[in-house]
A and B are shown apart, each in its own frame.
Chain A
Amino acid sequence: MESVGTSEGVPTDDDEAIARSLAGDLTAYEALVARYSVLAHRTAAMLGAGDEAEDVVQEAFVKAYRHLASFRRDAPFRPWLLRIVANETHNLTRSRGRRAELAVKLTGLVPAGADGAGDPGDPENAAVATDRRTRLLDAVRRLPERERHTVVCRYFLQLSEAETAQVLDLPLGTVKSRTSRGLARLREEVDRDLT
């Protein structure tokens, strides 16, 4: 691994925080934790940590710090961290012997026009939009776990295919095929709803 001074390219602020953390500067690491905390919680909850997401996230950040030296500094930090979060979540659900449920709920907010339900200011349209979203979320919940995880990473966490592959520790081709199988299944369910 390259040392700080010889690494090429523009150092990111993550990079700087990691460099300081590697030198034992916990204040710099706190900044890194704060920056990724919300994303880490979303990842843990969406991959099945349920109400133990907070514990999972803390554990993941502690592990990430302890293994920071193995982080390749020319790689992005985000998927590296989220893979640790995903691993911790996986360990938790396995140890609990339970299915990795999608532990999220809808907000009361109706995204304007985002799901094609017309003017959200109209209460009737808003109700339709909420209903459509609830049914789509239920359909995502019913996906087989492997497909659900790739769909959640790609669309709910908005990770790229490459990031999803890294986070879920899967080959890129598997991410592609599971995502398209999941989408096909969702499309069938959505079609059934409409008929």
Chain B
Amino acid sequence: MTSPDEPGDTGSRPPSGEPESRPSSDELESRLLALGDSVEVPCPPPADVARAVRARLEALPARSPQEEAPGADPAGPARRSRRPRALLPAPPGRARPAASRRRRAAAAVVVVLTALFFGATPAGRAAVVQILRLAGVELRIGDPGPLPSGMPAPLPGEERTTLEEARERAAFPIAVPAELGEPGDVRVGDGGRVVSLLWPGVRLDQYDGTLEVVYRKDLGPPWPEEADVDGSQGTWIPAHHGLSYLPREGGAPVAARIAGPTLVWQRRLVGLRLEGVTDRARAVQIARSLR
């Protein structure tokens, strides 16, 4: 996020030389950002809103968005069909193969979201027992097949940086667990959407937006357990599992890698995953020490 211009900024207090402090204009801005995260707006469950909007649209005389809708075919896919096949039409013949793959991947995301909001399809249940979403992570629980192998791929545009610079570039406040102290390594990826703090053997990913799917985890038994982190419901995943990253701009997920035991939770509007701590109680203790 860029800082708004500050003409005539006199500053509420002079910037000090301490490495922790930031110029006063930034301090007000970060206080405003934090304040925005802590204000409450009553929202009905999104699926209820979606159903209500749909009901209103169905009551309208003309159901198709607009007559000039490009490529809209009135005799096209069945409007009410909930089968994944109907949502995954063959891409247009003129699409290039790479584009069509990406398009299919994007369509798959829609299918997953649709399945999540409106009940998994019978076809989905055959492969995945249950899909859970929390804090920007989608857990596909069932028979995941063999765990992924190979080298972990970096996030799109992933760069090594400093904590200070990461705070400038990320659109959300970055917290550091007091239990672990200063991270040994800091990385920013996907245009500031994900910030990763690394300590030997431990990785804490913080990511913007808990409303969309940022990571997908494919896992089998032992099943994930609920874990309470400062009153927010988190999930403890004790087993090794496959982890994929879904880029903000859509497209194919970043190749799956194997992930160790992980705690996933949400802190206001920021999603977090702590990976590499094998003891659940210790992971929760670290999560609670975020400052």
Contact = CB atoms under 8 A, between A and B. Distances in A.
A68 B65 CA distance: 6
Interface string B1-35: 11011111111100000000000110111111111
Interface stretch (A8-16, A79-87, A91-99): A8-16
Given A114-B173, A158-B33, A109 B65 contact: no
Interface residues of A, number: 90
B65 A66 contact: yes
A31 B172 CA distance: 25
Contacts of A17: 110, 113
B9 to A, nearest CB: 7
A156 B34 CA distance: 8
A27 to B, nearest CB: 6
A54 to B, nearest CB: 6
Interface in B59-93: 60, 63-74, 76-77, 79-82, 86-87, 91-92
Contact of B28 (A19, A58, A190): A190
Given A16-B110, A35-B211, A183 B29 contact: yes
User: What is the size category of the interface that chain B forms with chain A?
Assistant: 35 or more
A99 B52 CA distance: 28
Given A28-B87, A31-B114, A111-B34, A58 B52 contact: yes
Given A1-B70, A5-B94, A45-B42, 17 more contacts: A22-B70, A23-B64, A37-B43, A66-B66, A112-B291, A140-B35, A156-B35, A158-B36, A160-B2, A179-B4, A180-B4, A183-B29, A186-B28, A186-B32, A187-B10, A190-B12, A194-B12
Interface of A: 1-6, 10-17, 19-31, 33-39, 41-42, 45-46, 53-54, 57-58, 61-62, 65-70, 103-107, 109-116, 119-120, 132-133, 136-137, 140, 151-152, 154-158, 160-161, 176-177, 179-180, 183-184, 186-187, 190-191, 194
